[in-house]
Amino acid sequence: MIATSRPNHLPREFVSALRQSISKALMQVTDALVGSISSGRLQRV
């Protein structure tokens, strides 16, 4: 395996931004799923 010069730890700003975007996306998908289930029909998100 070729050793890469990639650092083992990512910058905190990048990690926090990534976590925020992931949590936002998960909340949006969950809200869409809950809304479609409560309305009685499952629609593709």
CA atoms of 13 and 25, how far apart (whole Å): 18
Q: What percent of the chain has pLDDT over 70?
A: 69
Q: What pTM, to 2 d.p., does this model score? A: 0.54
One-letter amino acid of 43 = Q
**Tokens representing residue 24 in the block:** 């936002």
| Concatenated DSSP letters of 8-45 | SS--HHHHHHHHHHHHHHHHHHHHHHHHHHHTT-----
Domain assignments of the chain as residue spans, ordered by start: 10-37
What is the average pLDDT across 13-32?
95
Instruction: Place 37 in a pLDDT band, splitting at 50, 70 and 90.
Output: confident
CA atoms of 31 and 45, how far apart (whole Å): 10
What is the average pLDDT across 21-27?
97
Digit-coded pLDDT (tens) for 2-19: 556 666 677 889 999 999
